[in-house]
Homo-oligomer: A and B are copies of this chain.
Amino acid sequence: MKLNIAVLAGDGIGPEVSDQAIKALNAIALEFDHKFSFNYAKVGGAAIDDCGDPFPQKTLELCKTSDAILFGAIGDPKYDNAEIRPEQGLLKMRKELGLFANIRPVKAFDSLLDKSPLKTHLIKDVDISIYRELTGGIYFGKKEVSQDGNYASDLCEYSKKEIERVAHLAFKAAKARRQKVTLIDKANVLETSRLWRRTVTELSKAYPEVKLEYLYVDNAAMQMILNPKQFDVILTENMFGDIISDEASVIGGSIGLIPSASIGDKYALFEPIHGSYPEANGKGIANPIAAILSAAMLLEHFGLFDEAEIINYAVEKSLKLGITTPDLGIKHEEISTSKVGDFIADFI
């Protein structure tokens, strides 16, 4: 298979970890005789420094003419009080590419069970897939500040269509998994949540084999820790998904392990969820596994399941052998971001 992949490495540890994902993809290409070509463009703080725009037109063009996008991370404290911030580029990119579904798998790796803050019996065999709506809700509604700066507002809005398209993806995924969808909302308070409940309940009739459950977001924040094994597929709106998926990331013991896919009708982007982690920049301590597993999600997206499987297997091997960065606290010796990437690529 031939794939043109846009690489938007971004800020902080983004470039370091993206490099390791590319190593893994190159190893797969060699092994399976695929042709993957990589084209680079700037995003986030790197793009602001370059041209004043965190998601410039030429980056958008490259994304639109590529088969898939490999994304690193964005954000840098130096823009904290700036008018133009890296995050604006991320949101603009999601919106302009129509990436309406963000998918985050949460698993507990057997070899890392003791790294989790949660007790082992609670997390062994956890396997959750979170479907977060990514281009609607309070992230994109109208924002206002009064002239005197003493009042501000953010509008949370949803349409039935926006809910349906991500819900279909979640139900299809559940069908192929353990046949359960948990809708997380705050339907006892929010009108938008009641729209989510009505819409998803109606749509669920088209998937009679899938069980639909409802959970208020406050209760969900507890259940995720008390009994994460109860979850199969989680479906939720943008802001609740942001919070609940980051919370869920603690299960595996490190946020440095969780990949994600952001999918739309036309484009697809793959990204570690960890962010730019500026404190680690250039130290070689960033965990590349989330980026490498994001590359595996990219392969799955194109039906290359065997290839993805091999990456997943190589990652498990590196964890088992303790070939890991310091965040996992398995220090036989000092193992750098790039050494972990080399091991995984060699293994492939």
Contact partners of A217 in chain B: CB under 8 A: 242-243
* A243–B225 CB distance below 8 A: no
A278 at the interface (CB under 8 A from B): no
A320 at the interface (CB under 8 A from B): no
Contact partners of A156 in chain B: CB under 8 A: 138, 153-156
* B118–A225 CB distance below 8 A: yes
CA distance A245 to B194 in the complex (A): 23
- A245 CB, nearest partner CB in chain B, Å: 8
A139 at the interface (CB under 8 A from B): yes
* B247–A225 CB distance below 8 A: yes
* B159–A150 CB distance below 8 A: yes
Contact partners of A161 in chain B: CB under 8 A: 150
CA distance A226 to B250 in the complex (A): 7
What does the 1/0 interface line of A147-167 toward B look like (CB < 8 Å)? 001111111111111000000
* B149–A158 CB distance below 8 A: no
- A86 CB, nearest partner CB in chain B, Å: 9
What does the 1/0 interface line of A214-231 toward B look like (CB < 8 Å)? 000111011011100000
Contact partners of A34 in chain B: CB under 8 A: none
Contact partners of A159 in chain B: CB under 8 A: 150-151
* A155–B152 CB distance below 8 A: no
- Of all chain B residues, the one with the shortest Cβ separation from A144 is B191
A117 at the interface (CB under 8 A from B): yes
- A202 CB, nearest partner CB in chain B, Å: 11
CA distance A229 to B309 in the complex (A): 39
- Copies of this protein chain in the complex: 2
A62 at the interface (CB under 8 A from B): no
- A140 CB, nearest partner CB in chain B, Å: 9
- A285 CB, nearest partner CB in chain B, Å: 17
* A243–B255 CB distance below 8 A: no
- A250 CB, nearest partner CB in chain B, Å: 5
* A188–B155 CB distance below 8 A: no
- A70 CB, nearest partner CB in chain B, Å: 22
Chain B CB within 10 A, most for which of A85, A138, A160? A138
A176 at the interface (CB under 8 A from B): no
Q: With A218-B242, A243-B218 in contact, do A189 and B151 touch (Cβ < 8 Å)? A: no
Contact partners of A158 in chain B: CB under 8 A: 151-153
From B118, B151, B219, give the contact of A119 (CB < 8 A). Answer: B118
User: Which of A101-150 touch B at CB < 8 Å?
Assistant: 117-119, 122, 138-139, 141, 143-145, 149-150
* B225–A145 CB distance below 8 A: no
* B219–A246 CB distance below 8 A: yes
A87 at the interface (CB under 8 A from B): yes
10 contacts between A and B (CB under 8 A): A75-B188, A138-B190, A144-B191, A151-B159, A152-B158, A152-B195, A153-B155, A153-B156, A218-B242, A225-B225
Knowing that A155-B155, A219-B246 touch, tell me 17 more A-B residue pairs with CB under 8 angstroms. Answer: A118-B118, A119-B119, A138-B156, A138-B189, A143-B190, A149-B198, A150-B159, A150-B161, A152-B192, A153-B156, A153-B158, A154-B157, A217-B243, A218-B242, A218-B245, A218-B247, A221-B243
Which A residues have a C-beta under 8 Å from some C-beta of B? 75, 85, 87, 91, 117-119, 122, 138-139, 141, 143-145, 149-161, 186, 188-192, 194-195, 198, 217-219, 221-222, 224-226, 239-240, 242-247, 249-250, 255
